[in-house]
């Protein structure tokens, strides 16, 4: 049976120990990071090896390929993409910005599918407020919920058209956090009406998407004690108030925003209502700890996982890649420098 987890791996190829572990615990899928990325041929070999390890040729393989600071596949083998806010900056026409965002998603899907990756942790639907921590920053498409929703949907539709599933993140909203969840647990004190009209709005607008990812943030208006990832109240709100019926992933369990052992973190996240947990470091001892707190994928979670994978288009929308790439680069000329910056470890 499949376990309710997504794991990373250490390097460019699997070790014998990793193969044995994955074969034993049979995770739902895998997630790749920059440490795993070499040439296209090496990446194809790795994705095939990951699927072989659990004897599932259709296993989901995820990556954070946003553009800007969060781009795991990049030069010299793949082109650089701009951060989310570049589309609106490139044109004064909102419709043109939407077309660019969709085109970017379609191009990314082409490149990901070519190396065996079928899930991209995009779009970022967080709406930053003044003074918030810049961990989101230029990753956000805009500074208002309506535009974020429009451009986020365009990017997601581009991915879907190319045969790659999008992941909306970070539910129910990371834009009001004044700390980096990689390092500490942020607390948001906004009232529910404010959250509903601003932070929740893009997620409600894209509630039809197949997969979502939680935020490791305490929202005092929802649950004063637990971050959303581990809060039954927050997960219930995501399901009911935000209307999201898709597959719900935890953000990475290793982030310092969470406390307790990795086994406890996995248990708490799944008991709260996450369908799957993510562990990204590729550390085998840590993965064994996560596995101890991770049960089988079953019931509603299993049905949602199956429904998500059913959304993959196996015959992608036709694309003249070279022409589309030239068109995309021309439209964003002068904005690509915005893509420079330090890599974000986990999105």
Q: 69, 82 in Cβ contact below 8 A?
A: no
> What is the three-class DSSP state of 218?
strand
Q: Which of 141, 24, 120 is nearest to 72 (CA)?
A: 120
Catalytic residue (one of 52, 77, 182, 196) = 182
Question: What counts of helices (H) and strands (E) characterise the chain?
Answer: 12, 12
Q: 81, 332 in Cβ contact below 8 A?
A: no
196 is catalytic: no
Q: 63, 37 in Cβ contact below 8 A?
A: no
182 is catalytic: yes
Calpha distance 214→216 (Å, rounded) = 7
* DSSP secondary structure letters along 55-102: T-TT--EEE-EEETTEESS-TTTS-----TTHHHHT-S-HHHHHHHHH
DSSP E strand boundaries for the chain: 3-7, 27-32, 61-63, 65-67, 70-71, 119-120, 165-171, 187-188, 211-214, 218-219, 247-252, 276-279
Catalytic residue (one of 85, 138, 223, 251) = 251
Active site residues: 182, 251
């Amino acid at each position: 049976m499949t376990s309710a987890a997504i794991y990373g791996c250490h390097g460019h190829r699997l070790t014998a120990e990793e193969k044995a572990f994955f074969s034993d615990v049979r995770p739902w899928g895998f997630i790749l990071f920059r440490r795993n990325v070499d040439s296209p041929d090496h990446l194809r070999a790795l994705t095939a090896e990951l699927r072989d390890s659990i004897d599932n040729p259709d296993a989901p393989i995820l990556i954070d390929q946003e553009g800007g600071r969060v781009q795991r596949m990049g030069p010299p083998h793949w082109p650089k993409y701009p951060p989310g806010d570049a589309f609106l900056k490139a044109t004064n026409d909102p419709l043109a910005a939407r077309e660019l965002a969709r085109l970017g998603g379609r191009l990314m899907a082409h490149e990901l599918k070519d190396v065996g990756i079928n899930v991209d942790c995009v779009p970022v639907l967080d709406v930053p407020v003044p003074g918030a921590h810049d961990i989101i920053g230029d990753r956000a498409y805009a500074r208002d919920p309506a535009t974020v929703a429009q451009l986020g949907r365009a990017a997601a539709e581009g991915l879907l058209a190319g045969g790659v599933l999008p992941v909306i993140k970070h539910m129910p909203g990371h834009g009001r956090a004044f700390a980096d969840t990689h390092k500490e647990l942020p607390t948001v004190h906004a009232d529910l009406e404010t959250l509903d009209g601003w932070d929740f709005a893009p997620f409600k607008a894209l509630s039809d998407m197949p997969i979502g990812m939680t935020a490791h943030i305490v929202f005092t208006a929802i649950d004063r004690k637990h971050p959303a990832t581990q809060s039954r109240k927050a997960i219930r709100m995501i399901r009911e108030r935000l209307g999201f019926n898709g597959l719900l992933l935890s953000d990475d369990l290793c982030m310092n925003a969470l406390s307790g052992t990795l086994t406890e973190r996995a248990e708490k996240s799944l008991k709260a209502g996450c369908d799957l947990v993510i562990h990204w470091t590729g550390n085998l001892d840590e993965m064994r700890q996560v596995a101890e707190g991770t049960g089988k994928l079953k019931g509603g979670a299993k049905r949602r996982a199956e429904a998500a994978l059913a959304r993959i288009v196996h015959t992608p929308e036709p694309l003249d890649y070279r022409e589309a790439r030239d068109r995309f680069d021309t439209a964003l000329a002068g904005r690509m420098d915005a893509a420079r910056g330090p890599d974000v470890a986990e999105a």
